[in-house]
Amino acid sequence: MIEVIDIHKQYGDVVALNKVSLSVKKGELFGLIGPDGAGKTSLMRILMSLLLPDSGSATMNGLDVVKDYKKVRLTTGYMPGRFSLYPDLTVEENLKFFATVFGTTIQENYYLIKDIYQQIEPFKTRRAGKLSGGMKQKLALSCALIHKPEILILDEPTTGVDAVSRKEFWEMLKRLKDMGITILVSTPYMDEASLCDRIALVQQGNLMSVATPLAMENSFAEDLWQIRTRKIYNTSKLLEKLPKIISVNSFGQVLHLVTPKGFYQSDKIHEFLSQNGEIEISVEPAKATIEDVFILLMNDHKAKS
């Protein structure tokens, strides 16, 4: 449904996208996972025909994003990272405007947005600029859907949104996917990766890895230990001195220690810590999360460049 072939984009010396290739299947919920500046927005803007690539090509549902850009725009819904509706128009006026621009009416495709729009309908006479963050997001999604697009492109829809609203938003995306809409969504929150069918980990213009969230977690090639301690910061500083260590990072109330495959047993690590005066600790093998994979790939990437 979305094909990206060797797309390259540079701003002066800064490489935003480094010969990126990617394929998103019809009906897939695909996530671009990476921090600010990874190149996610550049890729989405190229797909939406808002930015020209330096080289490479991309098609959306078979339409070339450069040559057939007008058709691409008609069949795609886009929610940019920044709130881009008209703040002086009311909720209802914004929705009506976008429906009219695309030659349709609110009634015609109401079934698509019903679940989402009903939550903001009580405020339909309020100006869009006066809405709360969560409501703006719901209105923007409604406007992106009103022309019944085949593909939906969402640029960081959950950034700066609280944990509860984020959960609700992903539930909405799941329902849209079930209606057959192909969705490309970007996020800096690693914990949202598991909600996608497939994900790409993006860093400094490169796709470091593309797979299902589960395959990605299973691809973790080193040993990972979960360490519980009373003094996260102290224990972490101490572990940095562990011979052959790859990394140690805090994950909420525990530490994740990465060591080369097969190099340590848990009692050896425990011994190292207790010899250095750490008591009341536990060391257990753990399963990698997407964030662990991302950190490992980032370290590999740094070592290579």
Partner 1 sequence: MKTNEPVITVKNMVKKFGNFIANDNLSFEVYKGEIFGFLGANGAGKTTAIRILCGLSTPTSGKMTVAGYDVFKQTEKIKQNIGYMSQKFSLYEDLTVYENIRFYGGVYGMKIAERKARTTEMLDRLGLTAYENRKIGDLPLGWKQKLAFSIAILHNPKIVFLDEPTGGVDPITRRQFWNLIYEAVEKGITVFVTTHYMDEAEYCDRVSIMADGKIVALDTPERLKEQYNAANMDEVFLKIAR
Residues 237-266 that bind partner 1 (CB under 8 A): 249-253
- Assess 167 for contact with partner 1 (CB under 8 A): yes
Contact pattern for partner 1 over residues 24 through 63, marking x by CB under 8 A: ----------xxxxx-------------------------
Q: Is position 107 an interface residue for partner 1 (rule: CB under 8 A)?
A: no
Q: Is 235 in the site for partner 1 (CB under 8 A)?
A: no
CA distance 292 to 111: 40
Asked if residue 111 binds partner 1 (CB under 8 A), the reply is no
How many residues bind to partner 1 according to rule CB under 8 A? Answer: 35
DSSP string, 131-182: S-HHHHHHHHHHHHHTT--SEEEESSTTTT--HHHHHHHHHHHHHHHHTT-E
Residues paired with 24 in a beta bridge = 2
Residue type, 195: L
| Closest by Cα among 2, 5, 7, 81 to 51 | 7
For position 134 contacting partner 1 by CB under 8 A, the verdict is yes
14: Cβ contacts below 8 Å, ≥ 6 apart: none
Judged by CB under 8 A, the residue of 100, 105, 132, 219 near partner 1 is 132
Does the protein bind partner 1 through residue 224 (CB under 8 A)?
Answer: no
CB 217, min distance to partner 1, A: 15
**Between the CA of residue 208 and those of 129, 190, 301, what are the distances in Å?**
38, 14, 8
Q: How far apart are CA 227 and CA 121, in angstroms?
A: 48
Binding residue (CB under 8 A) for partner 1 from 82, 164, 277, 305:
164
Residues at the contact surface with partner 1, assessed by CB under 8 A: 34-38, 132-134, 156, 159-167, 188-191, 203, 232-233, 249-253, 291, 294-295, 298-299
